[in-house]
Structure 1
Amino acid sequence: MVPMIRAASLRGFVPLVERLGGEADALLARFGLARQALDSDEALIPITANDLVLDAAAAELGCPDLGLRLAEAQDLSILGPLAGVIESSSTVAEALALASRYMFVHSPALSVGVQADPRGSRGVVALTYRKDLHESPYSPQAIELGLGLFYQVAVMLVGSRTGLRSVEVPHQPQSPVSRYTGFFGADVTFGCRAAALRVERHLLDEQFATADEAIRRLAVDYLASHYPDPARKVSTQVRRALTGSLGTTSPAITGVARLLSVHPRTLQRKLAAEGASFEAILDEVRRDAAHRYLTTTDLPLGQVAALVGFTEQSTLSHAVRRWYGASPRELRRTAQHPAPGSRTELSR
């Protein structure tokens, strides 16, 4: 299955686009998103489409800090049932541990964690925010939105006691550096290995005024019973195996079964028990990979075909038309070029 994210991640997107003079419906439609889907926080949308529409809006509407603006308009509630677990935790360390464990409820492609300080400072740790790039391509605006929201939530829960030393951003500045330092109230370094908030270690021991052990237990029990970890599903393991090997080895069930240490027939039975099949998962992986390559790169179509495991470019063309009702060139042109009348188009 294509990696998804809760539609709440785009909360505030439509009014912001409209304030900037853009046409939200048309922009969303270009990436296969319907405005109605954003009306429900519980709805799920493809994370790749979610991120691409953020980057496109920022570029075409002349708003390089779009991700940060959305972060300012959002709060912990976009995480839905996960928000209750975090808010009722006793300490920052407990909240981070539970957020790391259950982040898949918001999106299985995203993760948060605690790591040693990348600069090696004593008494400092890095609170990381990552996206699995095997699942979906990198997005500067989405990373800034996620990291900005991460910071906003920390301030909401512990106030001014964040102990923030500096912020690490993997990409180069999209806006003037002063915009970042003004938002975070700390130095910001770009071109880093991971998105992270560098904080004093004692922050992990900070107590939450909203801590409630009874509510936390109920919230955790609810997540455990209503949101099974997709990483434990055989179909998820097959998808990850195919995603990691696509374009390098033949996408055959025998090879995937060998990676998972099961017999091919056993693998087929386990997938069937989950209502899935190897062929359907392979088709989804190819579809998602083809969409990424066509909409985020200028690679020749023959190379894209090889990268998604097709021996012929014509096979790619037939598959893309079946998936998206358009040729590979049409799909690329629609996603990568702004519609007539957008600010980017008019400025050319």
Structure 2
Amino acid sequence: MEWVRSAALRGVRTVIEHLDGDPDAMARRAGVPVAALDDDELPVSGSAIAMLLESAARELRCPDFGLRVALEQDLGMLGPLAVALQNAPTAADALDYTAKYLFLHARGFSLTLVPDPHGSRGTVGVRYGYPDRVRLSPQCIDMGLLFLHRALAYLFRGDYGLRTAEIPHPPMATRERYEELFGARATFQRPAAILRVPADLPQRSIGNGDQMTRQLALFFLESQATKADSPLASQVKAVLRHSLGTGPTTVSAVAGFLAMSPRSLQRHLADEGKTFAAVLDDARRERAEAMLTQSDLPLAQIGSTIGLENAATLSRYARRWWGTTARAVRQTGSARRQ
């Protein structure tokens, strides 16, 4: 089983502590870095996560451990993919984004639409799992399938028409517990983990999402799809580069887009020898140079586009960046184009 973003462990510490367990000790025994319990961005072995969930359920005598963890999670743990999903026009678009970019959260994992396992013409299945028949542990399935159900309920603002929850293992808790949480009948020891939903669900509108926000999220996801292991500084710059002139460029705004806290974002940047201010400065410099040398926009408009007050401020920045004025940079660029 391949790596998973540590965001998948959100809620594990809370549930273990609520059950009077020692989450750090349990994580170490399972081979999970302790830091992964509190940090969304660390790669963790899927097998180690499974071991942690199963051992915690057993040691704490909590058969519904995975279900409890799912109740502590939300869509935000998917980071920029969550932003794209929340602003998708329809469920079909959301599933398309998920199919294309879920590997950024969990390598090799997938959500797929499948024919209804019971043969009903008005129903389809949303299959949760690995496509190559890799078997997930019961606690992992319970956690993931309930998270998927809650995410769909959130996107559709309540009841989305779940028919049954198909679960491939015997019940870990009582049937009543599963049916209470899923709000529908649960069936066990089925061939795959599937939520059976109305056949028209993929065509339903999700809501009035913001097109610019969706496009920004998709651009960011696409840039990361070809460079999934890029340093955080590159991710931050990609967001800033497409927010300049169109949205906020504060550390809080960028951290929120990446589903991180501002403190966590700054700490990870520091680990890479960077600061948020330096990355923002780089993004501004690159945008300014492109606009100065490839357009005839007024200097004041270029300054405003990159978040500076006026043309005079742009020229002060230009002297720091290039040792000359913004006007001179423009003239040099014009000469090169001729």
* Percent of pairs with identical residues: 38
Shift of 1:213: 2.4
Contiguous gaps of at least 5 residues in structure 1: 231-348
The 2-side partners of 1:148 and 1:55 are apart by: 16
Matches within 5 A, 1:1-348: 3-131=2-130, 137-228=135-226
Shift of 1:37: 2.6
Relative contact order, higher structure (CA 8 A, sep 6+): 1
Shift of 1:229: 7.6
**Residue deviations 1:131-156, cap 9 Å, x none?**
3567x652100111110000001111
SS in structure 2 at match of 1:164: coil
SS in structure 2 at match of 1:196: strand
Amino acid at match of 2:103: F
**Residue deviations 1:51-88, cap 9 Å, x none?**
11001101110111111111111110111121111111
Q: Which has the larger radius of gyration?
A: 2
Amino acid at match of 1:185: G
Shift of 1:109: 3.0
SS in structure 2 at match of 1:167: strand
Hey, what does 1:329 align to over in structure 2? none
The 1-side partners of 2:99 and 2:192 are apart by: 16
Shift of 1:228: 2.1
The alignment of Structure 1 onto Structure 2 pairs a total of residues equal to: 228
Amino acid at match of 2:217: A
Question: Structure 2 length normalisation: TM-score?
Answer: 0.64
Shift of 1:166: 0.7
Shift of 1:96: 0.8
CA shift in 2, pair 1:229/1:184, >3 Å: farther
* Regions of 4+ moved over 6 Å: none
Q: Cα RMSD over matched residues? A: 1.7
Do the aligned residues in 1 keep the contact of 2:129 with 2:136 (CA within 8 Å)? no
The 2-side partners of 1:181 and 1:137 are apart by: 23
SS in structure 1 at match of 2:127: strand
The 2-side partners of 1:163 and 1:50 are apart by: 31
Contiguous gaps of at least 5 residues in structure 2: 229-338
The 1-side partners of 2:132 and 2:100 are apart by: 19
Do the aligned residues in 1 keep the contact of 2:5 with 2:42 (CA within 8 Å)? yes
**Residue deviations 1:197-250, cap 9 Å, x none?**
1011122222122522222222111111123287xxxxxxxxxxxxxxxxxxxx
Do the aligned residues in 2 keep the contact of 1:48 with 1:137 (CA within 8 Å)? no
**Residue deviations 1:11-43, cap 9 Å, x none?**
111121111121111110012222223322122
Do the aligned residues in 2 keep the contact of 1:51 with 1:142 (CA within 8 Å)? yes
The 1-side partners of 2:28 and 2:135 are apart by: 19
Hey, what does 1:317 align to over in structure 2? none
CA shift in 2, pair 1:210/1:13, >3 Å: farther
The 2-side partners of 1:197 and 1:117 are apart by: 9
Do the aligned residues in 1 keep the contact of 2:168 with 2:188 (CA within 8 Å)? yes
The 1-side partners of 2:78 and 2:33 are apart by: 21
